Structure 1
């Protein structure tokens, strides 16, 4: 069973819990809005279901409310930031705002963020960049209980380690063979990052290097669902379709693990994210036994590029639009309605969920109520 809640009242409920856990009103509202935007985008794994874990992290001291990004080195085109264990939704936006400003001034910026609490959906930061007409690349590691097994391995050794790439696309008139345009902001509230200033339906590729995000296993477990074969191994290293193996302790207190996408290729990308997002940022990598801490720390390497400063802006816009149009004219394969590009599913979901509301399953709602009770913010029954 589930209940459906419109974005604005859901944001208000979540902000109330975050504020009760110690955040100033403005911070609580921004964190809540970011989480609800993830739900609106169709990524419930990074949405309001994270709140119980955030409350626990605050109470154990691993997440520090009202703390932001601190620059430890800044030469304009190169920027290093310490997240100081602040909310990743705050730290990440601050980092991107600084990086975008420097990229518009210098043409490019490489920035690192270390020691940030959970950054959430990395696609949000790519959307900020493409809205400013910039290309962005993001490599992120996850310091928490290791939930992903290396290719050929039998237990978890690292996190879901996301990679994200954003490319601004200028809107072009489509041929008659192309599908209709989308990208409207969802009813009930505008989304300034969904469609950029230049009017493009931007390419935003955002994926975990695991076969599926850990949060999606939490959602499936809460709904009592099984998952496809090939996603998981159990605590003995054997294949399983039970998402609970990575959500709750199994025999002997052990956990199962997620597999990487693309076998050795996804595994290689996961290691790259650990080295670039973790080691290079100074935030650290995972190389110790698992613990029960609820804190989730991220490191991120971001590269921002301004095509206009490269001198290729016109050719870039023309060639990118021509290639996307070429893809859209491809006839649909069996079982598909048509070809789409990264970013389109999220834009469609925002329209539908902004209009119809966001479904919260009963188990997640119970967890939200319990989190609120821990900090004295009672939610409706």
Structure 2
């Protein structure tokens, strides 16, 4: 996106997690929930996803103060058939709910082979890229379909009025044969860009490098300000092939909201999320060795593809994030300028020392 950003300062990972957890706890969030939310936000920054890392913490604190983010309690169990579970998230912290759902699936997947947990009426779930690694590193497969039923910023293909959320989809699976044994970690959305990125660019007075939005009249534009003027985000594929992003946006919303039974029909407002989370054990199918034999071949073929002129070598989804994470563990977490400053007023108000 236009204009270079300032170099990011680096900070100790554990200090950032303790700081964020202390802020959430001081705002009334139960300690275990606060620690999980802090861990997921910092994990996002470690992997380079700084629109969905600690940059969200001030918004979460605003939501707690407004009574929109629940800080105590447990999800309501809508149904539980062992391998199939549905929860009412009761506006509890999204990162905590997703982590709890994955933990439940990990406990049960050895028995059932695959476990699905649907969560509706949750608060914001942060960066999806922060979740698949620990599942894939155990030789298991994770898929996630999520949506924000209180948001309608993405236009259906051929339309000019927003009807869908960006509807992110994430997945992780082991390969066994990539350099270093890297798993594939996928985090994509049904939209061509995200609401958080558009908001950041608008705040910074910047524009997109390409016309990824539409104004209210249906003209493609690179101006992020159109989202506050009746404009919309284009589905992935844009004006030419947006039926692709439109299709998977519909699927993600149907799985997350439909399977949980809580979504747009209830007309929620604000940072409400829904998710459909699946964990698969390859041992229940052809076996883990057979699985990684295939995924190693598939990914090796991708990595062996000659790069386009002027471009870097081909990478697998998630490899860049994993290298950034390793660097963050060695050298500190790179935080974009302004993120800690956005939390300073909350730290002073809540009596939490800055890191």
Residue 222 of structure 1 contacts residue 361 of structure 1 at CA under 8 Å; is this kept in 2? Answer: no
Structure 2: unaligned runs, 5 residues or longer = 1-5
Please tell me whether the aligned partners of residues 153 and 233 of structure 2 are also in contact (alpha carbons under 8 angstroms): yes
Residue 232 of structure 2 corresponds to 257
Aligned partners of 2:100 and 2:226: how far apart in 1?
Answer: 36
Structure 2 CA distance for aligned equivalents of residues 235 and 56 of structure 1: 30
Aligned-partner Cα distance in 2 for 1:16–1:235: 43
Asked whether 1:277 is paired with 2:256, we answer yes
Give 1:238 deviation, angstroms. 3.1
* Equivalent-residue separation in structure 2 for 1:377 and 1:285 (angstroms): 38
- How far residue 244 of structure 1 moved from its aligned partner, in angstroms, is 3.4
Aligned partners of 2:215 and 2:226 also within 8 Å = yes
Return the match for 2:336 from 332, 339, 360.
360
Q: From the superposition, tell whether residues 204 and 304 of structure 1 become closer, same or farther in structure 2 (CA, over 3 Å).
A: same
Alignment coverage as a number of residue pairs: 344
Counterpart in 2 of 1:4?
A: 9
Residue 351 (str. 1) matches residue 330 (str. 2): no
Q: Is 1:23–1:66's contact at 8 Å kept on the other side of the alignment?
A: yes
SS of residue in 2 equivalent to 1:206: strand
Q: For residue 337 of structure 1, give the secondary structure of its aligned residue in structure 2.
A: coil
- C-alpha distance in 1 between matches for 2:87 and 2:151: 24
* 1:32 corresponds to: 38
| C-alpha displacement of 1:335 | 2.0
SS in 1 for 2:9: strand
CA contact (8 A) 1:283 1:298 kept: no
Query: Which deviates more from structure 2 when the two are superposed, residues 125-134 or residues 207-216?
Result: 125-134
Q: Aligned pair 1:167/2:179, yes or no? A: no
1:59 matched residue in structure 2: 65
Distance in 1 (CA, whole Å) between partners of 2:148 and 2:85 is 21
- Of 128, 131, 143 in structure 1, the residue corresponding to residue 137 of structure 2 is 131
Taking a change above 3 Å as real, the CA distance of residues 271 and 339 of structure 1, as seen in their structure-2 partners, is: same
Give 1:59 shift: 2.1
SS in 2 for 1:327: helix
The aligned residue for residue 186 of structure 2 is 205
Matching of residues 135-284 of structure 1 within 5 Å:
135-171=141-177, 181=179, 200-246=181-227, 249=228, 254-262=229-237, 263-284=242-263
State the match for 1:114 in structure 2: 120
1:97 Cα deviation after fit: 0.6
Distance 2:133 2:208 in 1: 30
TM-score (structure 1 length as normaliser)? 0.82
Using the TM superposition, give the Cα deviation of residue 255 of structure 1 relative to its aligned residue in structure 2, in angstroms.
4.4
Change (3 A) 1:111 1:380: closer
| Deviation (angstroms), 1:267 | 0.7
Kindly report the root-mean-square deviation, in angstroms, between the aligned alpha carbons of the 2 structures: 2.5
